[in-house]
Structure 1
Amino acid sequence: MHGLRSRRQLSMVRALWQARDELARRRDIAPGRVLPDAAIVSAVQADPKSEGALLELPVFRGRANRKLVTTWFGALVRGRELPEDQLPPHSRPGDGPPPVNRWADRDPDAAARLKAARAALAQVSEQWSVPVENVLSPDLVRRLMWAPPRPADAAAVAEALRAGGAREWQVELTCDLLTEAIAG
């Protein structure tokens, strides 16, 4: 995405991203398996003016994407035709925690919470033979450990996980261990 500079291109990326995410949620599979990130960038860079032109791009030649060409092209059109005042900004101000390597100096308690959470999530990852980033988004874990909910009880942690985009199975699998990590 670093090669995409215009707000219009960012709008097209967002529209494709949202279409892909909606389809992935309905199918309950990883979004990257529906349409790779590289395909999104490739489509926006090519800026095809028809479904046929989109199908000419290498990543869209497969049978699965041929079936979904109307979905993908429709998303590109929505992004391309979005009014100027609704286009996304070039960059968003950082709203997340600082880099992890600075946590120990800035907030030692948060660093300890993150260390405990990561260890617990690694155990769950190993137990279920699932990559730790599939158990729970690393960004969500960092945000939760940097600024835990108050009170830091299981209900508040579960709500924070849901608000951060965790699926219900992820909440059920990780809520208690994250609540323990926060409690110290």
Structure 2
Amino acid sequence: MIDSQSISSKAVLINELIRTRRSVFTQQFDPGKPIPDEIIWQILNNANWAPTHKRTEPWRFAVFSGEGRKILAEQQAAIYQEFAGPKFKQGKYEQMKQVPLLCSHIITIGMKRHADIPEMEEIAATAAAVQNMHLTAHAYGLGAYWSTGGITFIEEAKALFNLAPEDKLMGFFYLGYIKVPGTDGQRDPIEEKVHWIK
């Protein structure tokens, strides 16, 4: 049993942040309330401290705010229209033009490939950076959502975010102030997912 008196305030805080973090979707944001850029920089700085094998630091971000959200909306809708082929849906196209405008900031998540490092390690490092972003946003009382929808898996979209063909576009991180709170999260007990050998 853990002695509650011996737990540091940092441990209590990180436990609380991890357990109460939730994805907050764009329709729950307050669309007229921008997040100060200083907070966005703090989110990005914390992402930069994620674990990274051989310190390749593979994460690459592009930040869209203000009028930049409209630029992203138009560009991603145009890419989707041009390259979706038979999977094209008009409703999805219209949604791509509207969703960025509901956010304060949108951060694209890219992974810069290093040939001498296994790809899985670079993907894991970038995902760890996004977890740091999620926890930081939550600590500031912000809503955040990592989406791998839209144009994430359209190869031609990479160039829009200064990614080379061998790199990966890993999605979009949507940020905003929370107008409509979400529900409590649920997880199955960890004991069902652990095989412990002593």
- Which has more radius of gyration? 1
Normalized per residue, which structure has more strand?
2
Higher helix share: 1
Higher-RCO chain (CA-CA 8 Å, sequence separation at least 6): 2
TM over 0.5: no
Q: Which of the five TM-score ranges fits, normalised by the shorter chain?
A: under 0.3
TM-score (norm 2): 0.23
